[in-house]
Copies of this chain bind each other. A is one copy, B any other.
Amino acid sequence: MTYQHEIRVSWGDCDPAKIAYTGRIPAFALEAIDGWWEEHLGGGWFHMEVDRGFGTPFVHLSMDFRSPITPRHRLICEVAPVKLGETSITFRVLGRQDGVLCFEGKFVCVFVAAQSLNTQPPEPDIRALVEPLLQPEA
């Protein structure tokens, strides 16, 4: 079962066009990816960085916006890893409201040491955790 992250879109997320401001939407997707790590690792980026000593900064993101997001429904973000490289991981995030696709996005992160920000391969337990969850990139 693919991880689903629920976001409560509210008044303050909307701009005068009465829809969620585009500048907020990448942050919604990132929160969903953080939630994916929490679900599978037992903690999100904060745990990763502070307790485990590594981070996964973003090197790329791309998003297509298919339908406006409003506070009328919860935003359900479906998150899955679609590629695990030597030192990188790629996520796909699909955002839906009331069954309607609102956005789809691709996000590429690299594994780094927390202090130095030097790129490094993920720890074996991370690789073992991610591999069975990989989905086809489509």
A12 x B26 contact (CB < 8 A): no
Indicate how many identical chains form the complex.
4
Residue of B whose beta carbon sits closest to that of A6: B8
Size category, A interface: 35 or more
Interface string of A62-88 (1 = CB under 8 A from B): 111100101110000000000000000
Partner among B10, B27, B50, B58 whose Cβ is within 8 Å of the Cβ of A34: B10
Interface residues of A: mostly helix, strand, loop or mixed? mixed
Interface residues of A, Cβ cutoff 8 Å to B: 8, 10-12, 14-19, 21-27, 30-31, 34-35, 44-47, 49-50, 55, 57-65, 68, 70-72, 114, 117
Give 17 CB contacts A-B under 8 Å.
Answer: A10-B35, A10-B44, A11-B15, A11-B49, A12-B15, A12-B30, A16-B17, A16-B49, A23-B26, A26-B61, A46-B72, A57-B68, A60-B62, A61-B61, A61-B63, A62-B62, A68-B117
